[in-house]
Structure 1
Amino acid sequence: MREFQLSTEYIELVKLLKLLRIAQTGGHAKIIIEDGEVIRNGEPEFRKRAKLVKGDVLEIMGETIKIV
């Protein structure tokens, strides 16, 4: 499991994918989300601008990321 240290109240999903280099571009991040590759707290997440907060657990293409 990988941890992402949140320094603000939240981070948008598309921005997190770019920051962690899971997606190379914003367009690539949107495709990953639209294709249902992101599971947030056990549920598929299709909102590109979903606000991720501390405690959220994401599964993205086989990788688990916890927001701390």
Structure 2
Amino acid sequence: MQTFSLEGEYIQLIQLLKAMNWVEHGAMAQWVVEEGLVKYNGQVDYRKRLKVRVGDIIEFDGQQVKII
């Protein structure tokens, strides 16, 4: 599992996907969320603007990241 150090209170889900280089661009990040390909704390979540905070775990395409 990878980790991502949060610099503020939160990061939006689609921004996190781009920051992790799991997607090539913002439109692709929005698409994978809309298609239900991303899990937030073990559950599929369709919110593109979801606020990801310290302690959350995001899963996509066999990869996981924990927010620290």
TM-score bin (small chain): over 0.9
Deviation at 1:33, TM superposition (A): 0.5
The equivalent of 2:4 in structure 1 is 4
User: Which deviations, in whole Å up to 9, do the C-alpha atoms of 1:22-68 show, x marking residues without a partner?
Assistant: 11111000111011111111111110000000000111111011000
1:26-41 aligned within 5 A: 26-41=26-41
Verify: 1:53 aligned to 2:45, yes or no: no
Residues in 2 aligned to 1:56 and 1:23: alpha-carbon distance in whole angstroms:
19
TM-score by length of 1: 0.95
Between the aligned residues of both structures, percent identity stands at: 40
RMSD: 0.7
**Structure 1 unaligned spans of 5+:** none
The equivalent of 1:24 in structure 2 is 24
Residues in 1 aligned to 2:25 and 2:40: alpha-carbon distance in whole angstroms:
21
- Look up the equivalent residue of 1:22 and give its one-letter code: W
Q: Which runs of 4+ in 1 moved over 3 A?
A: none
Residues in 2 aligned to 1:18 and 1:57: alpha-carbon distance in whole angstroms:
16
* Corresponding pairs, count: 68
